[in-house]
Structure 1
Amino acid sequence: MPLPTPPAAAHAPVGTRAPRIGLLGIMQPLYDDMIPGITEHQAAYAGRVAEKLSGVAEWTVAPPVRGRADAERAMRAFEDADLDGVLVVMLTYGPSLRVTRMFGGARLPIALANIQPDPAVSPSWDMDDMTYNQGIHGAQDTANAMVRAGLPFEVVTGEWQSPEFAGRIDRWARAARAVTALRGLRVGVFGYPMNGMGDARVDESSLLRKLGPEVEVIAPGSLHRTMAEIPGEEVADLMAWEDGAFEVDGRLSKEEREDHARMQLGIERLLEERGAGAYSTHFDAIGEDGRFARLPMAAASTLMAKGYGFAGEGDVLAASIVYAGHQLAGDGHFTEMYAMDFPSDSVLMSHMGEGNWRIAREDEPVRLIKRPLGIGGLDDPPTIVFRYRPGPATLASLVFLGGEDFRLVVAEGEVIDAPGLPSLEMPYGQFRPETGVRSCMDAWLRSGGTHHMVMNTGARAEDWKVLCSLAGIEYVRV
C-alpha cells in the first residue's frame, strides 16, 4: 500500500529537497583582446552546464570570475544565499593565486568539475576552440591551490552532457547538502544519556568543531508543560490522520492515544522552538521523571518519517548520522543489530520500538499497536510496527575516536525477504551484508563501529564516501 504523508509542521526539517548549488566559472581577462566576446561565450557555456544538470540540483550561476575580487564576491553571495555547495568550472585557464584566498576561507563544500565544452578534439579546431576547451590545466592549477590550502573537495572529470557525469554530480550535491546541514544541525537531548553506554559518548566541542552538530539539552519538564499546552484539536487531527495511515489496534484506548499524540506534538513543538533537526530520548530520563505515563515510541517513528534525526538513549552521534542519512539519501532509519542468523547469513535489525516507517514493506500494513514494554517502568506505549522492505540497503555508524578524529563505518548489503517473527512487536528486518556476516562483523568490530546506526534503502556506500571526503573524516567500508 502507498506510504502515508505525515501532517506538515510549520518548520519541518528540509528533508530531501533538491540540493541548492552555486556554479562558479573561472577564467581571466588575458584572452579578451585575442577573442572578443569570449567572456560572454563562456558564460553561456556555464549556463548550459547548469541547465543540463537542472534535474539534480537548483543552480545559482555566478558571472564568470576573472580575478580575486570577483571570486571572493561570488563566494560571499553563495554563502549569503544559504546554498549547500559550490561547483567550480574552469571556463578557460585561470591562475590559481586569484582564487587561493577565497578557497582558504570557503565554508561551503566544493567540487571541481574537470570538464570542457566539447567532448572531443576535432581537426576543425582553431586557436579559439583550443582556448574555449583549455580548462584542464586551469583545473590542475586550481586543484593544487585547494590541496595546499588543506581544503577537502571532490573532483568530477567527465563529459558534462553525459548521464554518468550527472550521476556523479548528483552524488556530490547530495553529500554537500548533508554536510552543510550537519554544520548547522542542533540535536535536542531530552534529559540525559544512558549511563555506561560508551560508544555513544562524544566530546561535544569536538563534534561541533569537526562536523557542526550542536547539542541542546531539553529538560523533561519542558516537554511535560508543552504537552499540556497542545490544543485538543491538534491532538484530534493527529489521531484522525493515524486512523487513515495505519492499521490501528482496537485495544488502544482513547486516553492512551491522546497521551501519545500530545507527547509527539509536544516533542515536535519543542524541536521547532529550539531549532533542532534531530533529537534523542532515553527511557530512564523519561521514566524516572515521574510525570509521564509512557515512553514516546510512536512519536519517534513518525518524526523520523517527517525528516527528523532520531536515536535512543541520548545518542547524539547516531541522531546526527540519521539526520545526515535523510539529507544524503532520504528516509534515514535508526536501528541496531540484535542478533546474527548464520543460516541466512544475515543480522536481525531492530530497536525497542522506534523506526522510520517509510522503509516499511508495501505489501503489509503499518500497524499502530498496544504494546507492553517493561523498559522504563511506565504504561504500555503505543508503538508503530512494520517489517523492513526487502531490497538493497546500507548501514552507517559514526564513530568518535578522540580529539578531532571521527570515522564512518559503512556496510552495504540487502534486507532479505525472511520469514516473519510474529511475537516481535517492534520494527524489524534482516540485513545480509554483501561481504557476509562473519567478515562484515569482524571488520565492523575492528573498526569500532557503534551499536546504533542509520539504515538507508539502496546501495549508498559511495554516497557516504563522498560525504566523508567533504567532511574530512575517515571512511571505512566493511
Structure 2
Amino acid sequence: MPTHPAPPRPLPAPRPRIGLLGIMQPLYDTMLPGITDHQAAYARQVADALSDTADWTVAPPVRGREEAERAVCEFENADLDGVLVVMLTYGPSLRVTGALTSTRLPLALANTQPDPSVTPAWDMADMTYNQGIHGAQDTANALVRADRPFEVISGDWQSREFAGRVDRWARAARAATGLRRLRVGVFGYPMNGMGDARVDETALLRSLGPEVEVIAPGTLHRTTLDLDEKDVTDLMAWEDATFDVDPRLSHGEREDHARMQLGIERLLAERGCHAYSTHFDAIGEDGRFARLPMAAASTLMAQGYGFAGEGDVLAATVVRAGHILIGDAHFTEMYAMDFPSDSILMSHMGEGNWRVAREDEPPQLIKRTLDIGGLDDPPTIVFRYRTGPATLASLVALGGERFRLVVSEGEVIDAPPLPSLEMPYGQFRPDTGVHACTEAWLRAGGTHHMAMTTGHRADDWQALCALTGIEYVRV
C-alpha cells in the first residue's frame, strides 16, 4: 500500500513505446552493396530524431514476409503501443500485408525519405535511397483494401512539424492500447433511469477494450476495516499539507473519509482497475457507510484514475483515456448555461480533479452538507477550474459496436466566484458559442457526463478516434 505524506501518482502516463519497422527489399543489393546497412543507419537516425516523442524499438530492416512477421510479433510480445512504418526503399506491399493487417498494434505510415530535397548532385544511389514514397503508396493501398485503420504522417523527418505529428499519433496509440487493457471498477450498480450512461459491456469490450469489474460495496466496507493505521494518518497529514482544511471537519469525519479513499485505492489496485465509478444510492443503501467518498474521487483522479459518478462506465473510460492521451483529465458535466457571458457552468456533485484548480486559489477540503445519498456530510475538495483553453469530450454508445466521441474546444473564463457552490466548478465558453455548441451536442447525442482537459486538444482526441474506429464529432 502507498503512504501519503507526498501525493502519490500510481498511474503515471508513461512515454509511448513505439516500434519502428523499416521496409526495403533485396533487389538493390547487387547494384548498391551495403545498402541494407546504409538504410538501417537511416532508420536509427529517424528514431534518434524522434526520441523526445517516444521510446523506440528499431527492428532490423525488413526485406521479406517472414522478417516482417517476426519483427511485428516481437513488437507485440514487447507490449509496445504502436508501429511506425518507414520505407527504407521501395518495398512490395504483399511482403508486409499479412503482418500489418493482423497486428493488434496501432499503425502509422511515415511518408518521408532520407534527404529532404532533390538536388543536381543526385545519382542512382540517391534515387534508390529516397524512393520510399511509392513503397508507401503500395503499402497504404494494401491497408485500405484490408479496411485496416492507419495514420499517415508526411514530411521531412528532421522537421519540428513531423515530430509534432508523430508525437500526437504516438500518444493516441498509447491511449488506444491503454483502452484495450482497461478495467473499470463499478462499486455497486449504476443509477436507475440514467440512459446515456448505459452501454452493452460486451460490445464495449469487443470494440474498444474496456472490461467492467463489478465490486460489491460490502467488499469495500471490509477493506476499510483492514487498513494500516499509519496509512490513514499519513493520508490525513498529506491533506493537511496540501489543502486548506476546514476546521469544522472532525477527526472522525476525516478518518472515515481517508479509510474509504484508501479502501477504494487498494481494491482498484488488487483488481487491476485504472478507472472506476461509484453511485450514491449504491453506497447509501448498503447501510454500512457513514458518507459518500467525494474527496476520494478527487484525489484518485489527481493520481491518474479515470472516474465518473453514478456508475457511468463510459465517462470513467473517457476520463482515463484523457489521462493517458493528454494528462490531468477531469470529470464534469454541464450544469447550467449563462447566456450573457456565452458560457456554461461546469460542475458535478463534488468530484473533480484538483490538479486543474486555479493556481491562485488553493483547493479547500471542506465540511460539506449534502442530502443526496441520505448519509452524513462528506468531506469534499472544492476549487475553481483554472482559466484558459480547455476541451470537453463525451463518449457516446450508439448501439452495437458503434461509439462516438463528441468534442468541444473553448476556454474556462475568469467568471465571478459562486460562494454558495460547495463543489468544484468553472465556466466554459465554447469556441462555437453556447447556442451552436449545445445544439450540436444534443443532436450528436453527447452525454451529460464528460471529461475536461486543459488546452485545445481536439486534434488529440481526433487522432485517438482514428485509431480506434470511434466516430469523431466536433461541436
TMscore range, shorter length: over 0.9
Aligned 1:168-317 pairs, distance under 5 A:
168-317=165-314
3-state DSSP of counterpart to 1:131: helix
Give yes or no for the alignment of 1:153 onto 2:150: yes
Q: Could you tell me how far 1:17 is from its partner in structure 2?
A: 1.7
Structure 1 stretch displaced more, 144-153 or 468-477:
144-153
* Structure 1: distance between partners of 2:81 and 2:153: 17
* Per-residue Cα deviation, 1:355-399 (whole angstroms, up to 9, x for no partner): 001111000111111101000000000000110000000000000
Percent identity, aligned pairs only?
A: 78
Give yes or no for the alignment of 1:116 onto 2:113: yes
* Structure 1: distance between partners of 2:203 and 2:131: 42
Q: Could you tell me how far 1:282 is from its partner in structure 2?
A: 0.1
Task: Determine if contact 2:5/2:235 at 8 Å carries over to the other structure.
Answer: no
- Which residue of 2 is the match for residue 8 of structure 1? 8
Code of the aligned partner of 2:56: W
Give yes or no for the alignment of 1:25 onto 2:22: yes
3-state DSSP of counterpart to 2:176: helix
Aligned 1:7-156 pairs, distance under 5 A:
7-8=7-8, 12-13=10-11, 15-156=12-153
Q: Could you tell me how far 1:6 is from its partner in structure 2?
A: 5.3
Task: Determine if contact 1:92/1:133 at 8 Å carries over to the other structure.
Answer: yes
3-state DSSP of counterpart to 1:171: helix
- Which residue of 2 is the match for residue 391 of structure 1? 388
Q: Give the one of 316, 321, 330 matched to 1:319.
A: 316
TM-score (norm. length: structure 1): 0.98
* Structure 2: distance between partners of 1:74 and 1:160: 22
* Structure 1: distance between partners of 2:247 and 2:79: 47
- Which residue of 2 is the match for residue 353 of structure 1? 350
Aligned 1:466-477 pairs, distance under 5 A:
466-477=463-474
* Structure 1: distance between partners of 2:209 and 2:109: 23
Task: Determine if contact 1:336/1:452 at 8 Å carries over to the other structure.
Answer: yes
* Per-residue Cα deviation, 1:126-162 (whole angstroms, up to 9, x for no partner): 0000000000000000111111121111100011111
3-state DSSP of counterpart to 1:65: coil
- Which residue of 2 is the match for residue 408 of structure 1? 405
Q: Could you tell me how far 1:5 is from its partner in structure 2?
A: 9.4
* Structure 2: distance between partners of 1:267 and 1:468: 30
Task: Determine if contact 1:200/1:315 at 8 Å carries over to the other structure.
Answer: yes
3-state DSSP of counterpart to 1:310: strand
Give yes or no for the alignment of 1:456 onto 2:460: no
* Structure 1: distance between partners of 2:220 and 2:6: 21
* Structure 1: distance between partners of 2:327 and 2:463: 16
Structure 1 runs, 4 residues or longer, greater than 6 Å off:
none
Code of the aligned partner of 2:375: L
Task: Determine if contact 2:5/2:238 at 8 Å carries over to the other structure.
Answer: no
* Per-residue Cα deviation, 1:33-70 (whole angstroms, up to 9, x for no partner): 11011111111111111111111111111111111111
Code of the aligned partner of 2:160: P
* Per-residue Cα deviation, 1:415-445 (whole angstroms, up to 9, x for no partner): 0011110110100000000000000001000
- Which residue of 1 is the match for residue 373 of structure 2? 376
* Structure 2: distance between partners of 1:140 and 1:413: 37
* Structure 2: distance between partners of 1:419 and 1:85: 45
- Which residue of 2 is the match for residue 335 of structure 1? 332
* Structure 2: distance between partners of 1:139 and 1:5: 53
Q: Which runs of 5 or more residues in structure 1 are unaligned?
A: none
* Structure 2: distance between partners of 1:303 and 1:149: 41
TM-score (norm. length: structure 2): 0.98
3-state DSSP of counterpart to 1:45: helix
Task: Determine if contact 2:405/2:465 at 8 Å carries over to the other structure.
Answer: yes
* Structure 2: distance between partners of 1:237 and 1:76: 45
* Structure 1: distance between partners of 2:420 and 2:162: 48
3-state DSSP of counterpart to 2:83: strand
Task: Determine if contact 1:333/1:355 at 8 Å carries over to the other structure.
Answer: yes
Instruction: Give the alignment's Cα RMSD to 1 decimal.
Output: 1.0
Q: Could you tell me how far 1:103 is from its partner in structure 2?
A: 1.5
Code of the aligned partner of 2:185: G
* Structure 1: distance between partners of 2:197 and 2:407: 17
3-state DSSP of counterpart to 2:240: helix
* Structure 2: distance between partners of 1:34 and 1:248: 75
Q: Could you tell me how far 1:7 is from its partner in structure 2?
A: 3.6
